[in-house]
Amino acid sequence: MNDHIVYATDRIRSACDLPSLMAATFAGVELMERCATALAADHPVYNPALAEASDAWWALSAAPSLKMYSPEPTQAATFSLLVTQALVAATSRTLNPADRVACLEAARHAGRVHDALTH
Q: Where are the domains of the chain?
A: 2-68, 73-118
**Cα–Cα distance between 71 and 116 in angstroms, integer?**
15
**Cα–Cα distance between 6 and 10 in angstroms, integer?**
6
Longest CA span, the chain: 45
Neighbours of 65 (CB within 10 A): 10
- For the chain, the first-to-last Cα distance in angstroms comes to 33
| One pLDDT digit (tens) per residue for the chain, 119 residues | 789 999 999 999 999 988 888 888 999 999 999 999 999 999 999 999 999 999 999 999 888 888 766 677 788 888 889 889 999 999 999 999 999 999 999 999 999 988 988 88
